């Protein structure tokens, strides 16, 4: 097993007794460096994207549909669609390059240290198996727990996901749950293996606004309580504004603006970011901006 995949392998800190300049910027959990992605038509669609995700933070990627957010996430996950490939740059996780992992190691990394949730949670569940059994399976296989213990862990995690009557939810089939409940189940499945990084790509897009806000609050809570680092991806600036400390604005496969979320919302520098902020004034982003100022 490589060091990268070993939970127990702590990285030796760089620091010595003398405080040094570089200690101010410890290795980020995730570093995307000059990432380029090319699709089957041999067209480059991601043109050298760079950003860091420091441990314990929530980083937002925002931009209109087709701007390259999902291909960037899938590159991180080692899950690019057929025909798409990383054609330049590098991705580092906890200081190690993960772009050149073997398929097997990439699968293992995804199963342990990096997890993801996407839009349309129902499509990731087996319709003919109860959601509880599907979650318990993670504890049985990854945690090697016996059946009863896996069930108990699953019920407890469903409870922690804010689902009422978790023991009952455990016995339900996907079609019996609302979209918001299903996304909570998917988040439970994603974090059951205690990953360090969770990528949520348009994870709340299909939900109505109130439920969306609740699921975003759940993500923030998991970050606080479980030491989870988040990458939150949305075409909707309001979603990013609610959860992320830093934001990167995508347009046509480039990052056109980056900065602390509050700053980008208050004083967007790029005309495209300004248009995103302006188009949201009407939908209450001002309200979120004020909330952040009050903190």
| Residue closer to Mg ion, measured from CB, 27 or 183 | 183
Distances from the Cα of 155 to the Cα of 50, 66, 158, 181, 272, angstroms: 39, 38, 5, 14, 45
| Residue closer to ligand ADP, measured from CB, 1 or 82 | 82
Which residue in the block uniquely carries the two structure tokens 């897009």?
205
Q: Which of residues 10-69 bind Mg ion (CB under 5 A)?
A: 69
| Residue closer to ligand ADP, measured from CB, 14 or 40 | 40
Among ligand ADP, Mg ion, none, residue 132 binds (CB under 5-8 Å by kind):
none
| Residue closer to ligand ADP, measured from CB, 29 or 233 | 233
Shortest distance, position 117 Cβ to ligand ADP, whole Å: 14
Q: In what order do the strands lie in the sheet with 44-53?
A: 44-53, 30-38, 85-93, 96-97
Contact residues: ligand ADP, CB under 6 A: 39-40, 45, 63, 65-71, 81, 83-84
- How many binding residues for Mg ion (CB under 5 A)? 2
Shortest distance, position 254 Cβ to ligand ADP, whole Å: 11
Distances from the Cα of 180 to the Cα of 14, 160, 200, 205, 271, angstroms: 43, 15, 14, 11, 34
Shortest distance, position 293 Cβ to ligand ADP, whole Å: 29
Residue closest to ligand ADP, measured at CB? 70
Shortest distance, position 73 Cβ to ligand ADP, whole Å: 8
Backbone angles phi, psi at 91, to 5 degrees: -130, 130
Cα distance between residue 198 and residue 53, in whole Å: 11
Among ligand ADP, Mg ion, none, residue 223 binds (CB under 5-8 Å by kind):
none
| Residue closer to ligand ADP, measured from CB, 64 or 96 | 64
Shortest distance, position 80 Cβ to Mg ion, whole Å: 13
Q: Is 70 in the site for Mg ion (CB under 5 A)?
A: yes
**DSSP run (H or E) holding 53:** strand 44-53
Cα distance between residue 126 and residue 72, in whole Å: 27
Shortest distance, position 202 Cβ to ligand ADP, whole Å: 7
Residue of 44, 50, 115 lying closest to 86 (CA atoms): 44
Cα distance between residue 110 and residue 238, in whole Å: 28
**Residues lying near Mg ion in the complex (CB under 5 A):** 69-70
């Amino acid at each position: 097993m490589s060091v990268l995949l070993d939970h127990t392998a702590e990285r030796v800190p760089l620091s010595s007794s003398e405080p040094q300049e570089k200690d101010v910027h410890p290795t980020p959990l995730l570093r995307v460096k000059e990432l380029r992605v090319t699709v089957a038509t041999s067209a480059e669609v991601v043109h050298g994207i760079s950003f860091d995700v420091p441990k314990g933070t929530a980083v937002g990627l925002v931009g209109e549909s087709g701007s390259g957010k999902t291909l960037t996430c899938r590159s991180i996950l080692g899950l690019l669609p057929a025909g798409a490939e990383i054609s330049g740059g590098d991705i580092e996780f906890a200081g190690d390059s993960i772009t050149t992992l073997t398929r097997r190691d990439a699968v293992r990394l995804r199963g342990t240290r990096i997890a993801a949730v996407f839009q349309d949670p129902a499509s990731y569940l087996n319709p003919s198996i109860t959601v509880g059994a599907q979650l318990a399976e993670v504890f049985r296989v990854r945690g090697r727990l016996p059946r009863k213990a896996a069930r108990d862990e699953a019920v407890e995690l469903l409870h922690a996901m804010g689902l009422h009557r978790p023991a009952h939810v455990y016995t339900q089939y996907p079609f019996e749950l609302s979209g918001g409940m299903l996304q909570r189940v998917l988040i439970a499945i994603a974090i059951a293996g205690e990953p360090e990084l969770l990528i949520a790509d348009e994870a709340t897009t299909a939900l109505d606004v109130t439920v969306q806000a609740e699921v975003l609050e759940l993500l923030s809570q998991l970050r606080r309580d479980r030491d989870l680092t988040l990458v939150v991806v949305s075409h909707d600036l309001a979603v990013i504004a609610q959860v992320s400390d830093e934001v990167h604005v995508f347009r046509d496969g480039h990052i056109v603006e980056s900065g602390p979320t509050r700053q980008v919302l208050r004083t967007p520098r790029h005309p495209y970011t300004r248009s995103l902020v302006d188009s949201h004034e009407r939908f209450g982003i001002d309200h979120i901006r004020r909330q952040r100022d009050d903190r």
